[in-house]
Amino acid sequence: MAELTFQTVTGAAAVGDVWLADAHEHLWIKPPEGIPAEVRFELSDEAKIRAELSDFRQAGGTTLIDCQPGGCGRDANRLIALSRATGLQVTATTGFHQQKYYPPGYWLWSASVYDAADYFIEELTVGMRESSEHACASTIKVGYEGVIEGQSRTLMEAAALAAAHTGALILFHTEQGRGVEALLPFFADRKVSPERLYLCHVDKRPDAGLHRELAQAGVLLGYDTFARPKYDPDRGAWRLLRELSDAGLDEHIAIGLDMASASMWRHYGGEPGLLMLTEAILPRLRREGFSEDSIARLTGQNIARTLVRRIDS
């Protein structure tokens, strides 16, 4: 049987080589001009980022899933350079984020379904537009605000076309899990199965019954509030991890940190840093009695397996 692989910014990587992944991260954000200060997140000090990533690599980290799409701060060339400098597997995303992160008049917010789909497919199969090496994106991001309407609906239609054509995973920003119930039927009607959907930030909506239903349907749930006290991760992410694991559903969860703010990076002078995965999350999973197989799934194998492209029949 051929070894399963997934796309990174430097080529194919083997699923079996993923030992510790941060399944939702932002490695580089250089916002365009015209973004309001209240939504202007910037991570663009290459030396500090490289040092943080090197620490993660030395602690056993192997893989980072970058979630910043083109047009609102992504730089594929920087992702390639950071991957090569640190030895980490780095994936990139095409698709779209919420409109507030784009400059006024950005073309995607008036694009047709087919123009947007062509763009997503090009970035997944030919190369990201700013990449000098034709590095391909791995995932399609959808900046979902909880309702399917307007131009966001148009772009979600385009994401569905691109996923159906390429087999790529759709990675969702959700607003605290709001409205996620509508996503499965919307994409199923467009020939995209739940196994191609990765719903991030859903631990901000700690409804264990909903999470069980989503996992049983086949989606991947992104738990990424461990470093955000305001979302009470003991009541949210950690409780959900235990309940879904006890229900035999730990193959449908991926753990990430989502450090889009420089204040969360140690080499920027903040906390907790990427080493939270090795210093806090892994030890707690072991203290709470999660098996090593379960830990491997939650912290690497689930996201790696889901990144493998599969075209639904």
All structural domains of the chain, each given as residue ranges with its CATH number in brackets, are: 23-307 (3.20.20.140)
Give the C-alpha separation, 148 to 165, whole Å.
21
Mean pLDDT across 157-186: 98
Query: Is the pLDDT at 1 greater than 90, yes or no?
Result: no
pLDDT of 312 above 90: no
Q: Nearest 5°: phi and psi at 163?
A: -65, -40
Q: What average pLDDT does range 158-165 have in this prediction?
A: 98
Q: Model confidence over 207-265: pLDDT tens digits?
A: 999 999 999 999 999 999 999 999 999 999 999 999 999 999 999 999 999 999 999 99
Q: What is the pLDDT of residues 253-275, one digit of tens each?
A: 999 999 999 999 999 999 999 99
Q: Name residues whose C-beta falls within 8 Å of residue 206's C-beta, 6 or more positions apart in sequence.
A: 235, 236, 237, 239, 240
User: Would you state the torsion angle of the CA atoms of residues 127, 30, 18, 210, taken in this order, to the nearest 10 degrees?
Assistant: -100
How do residues 60-89 score in pLDDT, each as one tens digit? 999 999 999 999 999 999 999 999 999 999
The answer to whether the Cα torsion of 33, 34, 36, 37 is positive or negative is positive
Tell whether the model's pLDDT for residue 23 goes beyond 90: yes
